[in-house]
Structure 1
Amino acid sequence: MTISFKAYVQGRGTFSNVAEPFQFPGGEWHLRNIHTYPNSRVTWIADVRGADPNDLVKAALLATHAQYRMQPFVLMLPYLPAARADRGTPKGAAAYAWLANSLGAQKIIAVDGHSEAGVKPYNNVIELDATALIDRALMGRRYDAVIAPDKGALPRASAIAAHLGCPAVRAEKERDFATGRITGMRMLGATPKDWRYLVVDDICDGGGTFVGLAQMLNLPKDQLDLWVTHGIFSGKSGQLHDHYGRIYTTDSHPGAYTGAVRPFSIVPTFPIMFNAMRNGLSK
């Protein structure tokens, strides 16, 4: 299951598996065995992983329960579905945001949204950046520089580089403008051959960009690692193991566990989202 139901009971802590989703023969979702906490201040939490719209329906059921009891409801959505579809029409980022917003959550908590345009449609959103997670993944491993694989990745790569105390450099994709296909990559800054690098981006789907970058750099695996906040790891992404010594991600998407890549480290997102929830609700 890619959704979990939790309850934060003030003074008692957080309880898991506080409701059980089930499906009627007609296809409708419902909840049963909902826990009760008499005479307590409760915040109900739907903690979603990935982009299955069925999970938003299940979350909506918990939201209606919270509304009935006049208690807060929080939607934890670390991976914002269709955040890459943040332009043109139909705009997938907006469509999923409308669904999420309809739940009436006091807070929607996301992690490392793909772009400002992908996050903007959400109401009451708290967006957490990857710097809050990366130390747990790296476990003290040092890097000489952080690489952004393209212009869009540069802000998050620069933030992580500043956090790690090293420079950031950027790669650029070369395209055939007649077909739109990527024909190669080049670095826009110096990349000494004896340095160790961490490539940083928000999402890895099929992994082609990262494979192309590694082939262009032509470094031994022990000098090149990869951090992606959201690991979908579809298709031929398993080839990344041929080029990167360590691949780090979070548990924001089920692909971290079921995809073609076997990450060196999978960082749990719930702890930082929980802290953000408590801080956000107290304001």
Structure 2
Amino acid sequence: MNTINLIDPSKSDIRFTTMIFPDGQPHIKIDVESLLVLDHSAPARIFTRLSSANDLMLALFIKNTLDYQGFEKVELHVTYLMAARMDRVMLAGEPFSLKVIASILNNANFHRIFIFDPHSEVSTALIDKSYAVTNHQYVKDCLDDYFKKSGACNYCLVSPDAGALKKIHKLAQALGVEDVVECMKERDLKTGALTKFTTVASSLQGKTCFIVDDICDGGGTFIGTAKMLKEKGAQKVVLIVSHGIFGKGTSLENVDAVYTTNSFREVPDVVQMPIDNYL
């Protein structure tokens, strides 16, 4: 597929240069000579993060440029979708941010949009011609890597909260894992404070617990969950997240190993899987 890769330009079929104007506006110039040998009726792919407003604008500018150059089918492959967690109006006075982003993307009229492990099904419901790419192969690769390094063990998959529950049961079914542990917590939407970490599991003695979720931001959910799992007898706690923001760093108390991708950014000091393996 004819690709413009904004995460790793060396993997692009279409050559381009980017810059930021003094007023902060992103800009792109595509090398039109690199387009001459390409089939304009075949799909062209923009492979990018949408982590910021500038990322979004750059993707839209590229779509516009490819339209002018006569490409008939332009796809957007999104490694990280901004505002995906704001999939409703959380509190009075706050926006429905995901709906705003979806409206902008819909107006661009992409041929198709693929999103890696979006936060909820609301993303694909709001964005026209969009498709969720699951985390199944990614999690399998993380498990394989851990077992290769540490050896086989008695393990379970852990859902850290109600929001992750539906996904983790689909994941367990896809991977053939029977042992799934369900955890719960309470969050104060006004302050963000997390309390009352609980699980239905009575004992996790000697088990390696793989917490699986889509995003790690501050890490409070996983620190609280890991502490509770260790208190239940877990021998090791491993975190597998698709999108590593790590706003407070990657050192998470009671978490023995961390896996993520470079969907949001490059993350040092953890095991990072390349996102282009999965999208």
TM-score (norm: length of structure 1): 0.80
Residue 11 (structure 1) aligns with: none
Identity of aligned residues (%): 26
* Residue equivalent to 2:267: 257
Counterpart of 2:246? 233
The Cα offsets for residues 9-68 of structure 1, whole Å up to 9 and x where unpaired, read as xxxxx7356211223445443322524232531443322225111112111121112111
CA 1:229/1:183 → structure 2, altered by over 3 Å: closer, same or farther? same
* Structure 1 residue 117, shift from structure 2 partner: 1.8
Q: CA RMSD in A?
A: 2.9
Given that 1:56 and 1:99 are in contact with CA atoms closer than 8 Å, whether structure 2 keeps it comes out as no
2:161 matched residue in structure 1: 150
Q: What whole-Å deviation, never above 9, does each CA across 1:177-230 have from its counterpart, x for those lacking one?
A: 998843321111333211111111111100001101111122688621111111
Cα gap change, 1:170/1:70 in structure 2, threshold over 3 Å: closer, same or farther?
same
Q: Is the 8 A contact 1:46 1:76 kept in 2?
A: yes
- 1:45-194 equivalences in 2 (<5 Å): 45-71=45-71, 72-88=73-89, 89-139=94-144, 141=147, 142=152, 144-162=155-173, 163-174=175-186, 181-194=193-206
Runs (5+) with no aligned partner, structure 2: none
Contact 1:222 1:245 in 2 (8 A): no
Residues 173 and 185, structure 1, Cα contact 8 Å, conserved in 2: yes
For 2:36, give the aligned amino acid: P
Extract unaligned runs of 5+ from structure 1: 8-13, 274-283
Q: Aligned-pair distance for 1:104?
A: 1.9
Q: Distance in 2 between matches of 1:247 and 1:230?
A: 12
Q: Against the structure 1 CA distance between its residues 20 and 120, is the aligned structure 2 distance closer, same or farther, given a 3 Å change threshold? A: same
Q: In the TM superposition, what whole-angstrom CA distance separates every residue of 1:82-120 from its partner, at most 9, and x where no partner exists?
A: 111011141111112222223221111101111112332
- For 2:169, the aligned partner's letter is S
1:75 is displaced (CA, Å) by 1.3
- Encode CA deviations 1:135-162: one digit per residue, 9 max, x unaligned: 2222252552111111111122222323
SS of 2:27's equivalent? Answer: strand
Whole-angstrom distance in 1 between the partners of 2:189 and 2:264: 33
Whole-Å Cα distance in 1 between the matches of residues 111 and 8 of structure 2?
A: 16
Q: Secondary structure at the match of 1:202?
A: strand
- Structure 1 residues 21 and 90: CA distance shift in structure 2, 3 A: same
Tell me if structure 2 keeps the 8 A contact 1:110–1:126.
yes
- Does the CA-based 8 Å contact 2:17-2:28 persist in structure 1? yes
Superposition pairs of residues 193-272 of structure 1, within 5 angstroms: 193-218=205-230, 223-235=236-248, 237-240=249-252, 242-254=253-265, 256-257=266-267, 262-264=269-271, 266-272=272-278
Give the distance between the partners of 1:123 and 1:147, measured in 2 at CA: 32
Contact 1:231 1:249 in 2 (8 A): yes
Relative distance call for 1:203 and 1:25 in structure 2 (3 A) is closer
Query: Residue 14 of structure 2 contacts residue 35 of structure 2 at CA under 8 Å; is this kept in 1?
Result: no
What is the CA distance between 1:267 and its match in structure 2? Answer: 1.8
The letter for the 1-side match of 2:75 is: V
**Conserved? CA contact 1:150–1:173, under 8 Å:** yes
Read off the aligned partner of 2:85 and give its amino acid letter.
R
TM, length-normalised to structure 2: 0.81
Contact 1:229/1:250 (8 A) holds in 2? yes
C-alpha separation between the residues in 2 aligned to 1:73 and 1:172?
41
- Counterpart amino acid of 1:85? M
CA distance in 2, matches of 1:125, 1:208: 31
Aligned 8 A contact 2:216 2:245 in 1:
yes
Residues matched between the structures, number: 259
The 2-side partners of 1:5 and 1:105 are apart by 21
* 3-state DSSP of counterpart to 1:189: coil
